[in-house]
């Protein structure tokens, strides 16, 4: 019996048992939808993470204070404190670092400030960053309205500020903020720029931040052990390893560290952090795959049960086909094709639903639209395998029916 004949018989049988075929296809569809949907969402998250850190600059690295000032060594002497990076050390690094790159200095002035405009104010959860004229460029921010700081504003510590979109929405609604004056804590600032939205993809802070000139941050938000952050964006991403080595050597020299003494500062690379986050998602991928396969296993058992019922209901039909010369191979092929066709119908529906649901989740976490070609191909292949696995035993059982006994069956 040819493939076309088997397909025609399969579709005829499916039409004759629409309810049973629909329920079976739906079971398969749910399994594939779960698998493709979750894996599509994870791919979207990975793309979102890569886009976020590419926006920050895959060619960038930061020199930061080690261990956020404190390192728990487990010794009885208590926590080990590391020296903070002073503004003077950071400026000395910029003066000595001659690698082809853009260098920026910044400082986290406050994690929990309140911003006021007239009679409106934010919650006390606004992040205040101090940055130089290069900070927006290396940190991956773009100006939506207004302008960046000038070199004069940075060096003279002027009270000007660039705000995030969440601050604008909270305080200004439909009013344009540029040129208006706001209070951060007790200090008055003139708004010179509005940032484009970064959303939740930027992690802590997101759009809920304000940026002031670097020297202004040191003066207005001064506190003990404020630590500068040095950000380097190399011109050629392929040379970033050499830049990191040179930066490490220069900063060790600035801090007068002997040759065998470990670094008392840390260098963070944006691409390494992205890889670490994506690596953590691999565990979610494994869990999602296991859940999807368990769902498909249940679907396969359900399909096998339905196919066995189908064999019992169609005993007389099988007897007639055998009496007309159908071989055991032809009967097996007929039932296997029927199982595979039902699986493919359910699988295609599951793939479409999985892509839609996966991309909806992706949009919520800041990723782009994903067409998961690999998971689509995997889903189709899985449907064939599930059809073969669940249809094989019923097909063998059908092919071994005695034609005389089958014709006598009522």
Q: Are 347 and 23 in contact (CB under 8 A)?
A: no
Chain CA centroid to CA 103, Å: 28
Q: Which of 82, 68, 195 is nearest to 135 (CA)?
A: 195
Alpha carbon distance, N-terminus to C-terminus of the chain: 27
Give the separation between CA 366 and CA 115, rounded to whole angstroms: 26
CB 304 within 8 A of CB 338: no
- pTM over 0.75, yes/no: no
Is the C-alpha dihedral spanning 126, 127, 132, 133 positive or negative? negative
Per-10-residue mean pLDDT, the chain, length 410: 66 71 78 78 68 62 73 45 87 94 93 92 92 90 93 94 94 91 94 84 66 94 88 86 93 91 85 62 74 74 72 70 73 76 82 82 66 75 76 73 59
**Helices and strands per DSSP (H, E), number in the chain:** 13, 14
pLDDT at res. 164: 93
Q: Which phi and psi (to 5°) does residue 160 adopt? A: -120, 160
Q: How far apart are CA 397 and CA 144, in angstroms?
A: 70
The H or E element spanning position 295 is helix 270-313
CA separation for the pair 331, 322 (Å, rounded): 8
Over its C-alpha atoms, the chain yields an Rg (Å, rounded) of 32
pLDDT at 203: 45
- Rounded to whole angstroms, how far apart are CA atoms 285 and 263? 36
Structure tokens at 220: 């207005």
In angstroms, the CA 161 to CA 149 distance is: 8
Give Cβ neighbours of residue 300 (< 8 Å, ≥ 6 apart).
386, 389, 390
The pLDDT value recorded for residue 169 is 92
At residue 113, the pLDDT reads 92
Instruction: Give pLDDT, residue 71.
Output: 41
Q: How long, in residues, is the chain?
A: 410
């Amino acid at each position: 019996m040819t493939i076309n004949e088997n397909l025609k018989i399969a579709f005829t049988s499916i039409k004759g048992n629409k309810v049973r075929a629909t329920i079976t296809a739906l079971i398969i569809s749910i399994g594939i939808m779960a698998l493709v949907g979750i894996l599509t969402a994870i791919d979207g998250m990975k793309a979102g993470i890569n886009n976020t850190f590419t926006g920050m600059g895959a060619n960038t690295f930061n020199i930061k204070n080690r261990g956020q000032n404190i390192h728990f060594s487990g010794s009885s002497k208590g926590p080990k404190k590391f020296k903070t990076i002073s503004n003077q050390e950071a400026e000395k690094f910029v003066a000595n670092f001659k690698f082809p790159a853009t260098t920026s200095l910044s400082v986290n002035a406050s994690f929990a400030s309140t911003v006021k405009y007239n009679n409106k104010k934010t919650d006390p959860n606004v992040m205040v960053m101090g940055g130089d004229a290069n900070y927006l460029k290396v940190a991956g921010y773009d100006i939506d309205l207004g302008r960046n700081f000038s070199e004069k504003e940075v060096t003279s510590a002027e009270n000007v500020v660039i705000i995030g979109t969440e601050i604008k929405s909270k305080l200004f609604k439909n009013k344009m903020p540029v040129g208006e004056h706001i209070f951060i804590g007790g200090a008055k600032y003139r708004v010179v720029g509005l940032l484009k939205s970064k959303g939740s993809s930027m992690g802590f802070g997101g759009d809920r931040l304000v940026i002031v000139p670097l020297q202004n941050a040191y003066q207005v938000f001064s506190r003990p052990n404020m630590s500068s952050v040095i950000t380097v964006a190399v011109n050629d991403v392929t040379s970033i390893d050499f830049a990191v080595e040179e930066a490490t050597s220069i900063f060790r020299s600035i801090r007068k560290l002997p040759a065998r003494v470990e670094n008392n500062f840390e260098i963070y690379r944006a691409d390494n952090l992205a890889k670490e986050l994506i690596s953590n998602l691999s565990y979610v991928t494994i869990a999602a795959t296991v859940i999807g396969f368990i769902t498909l296993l249940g679907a396969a058992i359900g399909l096998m049960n339905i196919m066995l019922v189908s064999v019992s209901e169609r005993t007389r039909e099988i007897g007639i086909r055998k009496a007309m010369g159908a071989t055991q191979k032809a009967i097996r092929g007929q039932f296997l094709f029927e199982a595979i066709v039902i699986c493919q119908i359910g699988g295609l529906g599951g793939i479409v639903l999985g892509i839609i649901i996966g991309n909806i989740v992706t949009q919520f976490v800041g990723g782009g639209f994903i067409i998961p070609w690999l998971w689509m191909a995997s889903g189709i292949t899985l449907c064939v395998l599930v059809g073969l696995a669940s249809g094989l035993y019923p097909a063998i059982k059908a092919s071994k029916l005695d034609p005389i006994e089958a014709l006598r069956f009522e």
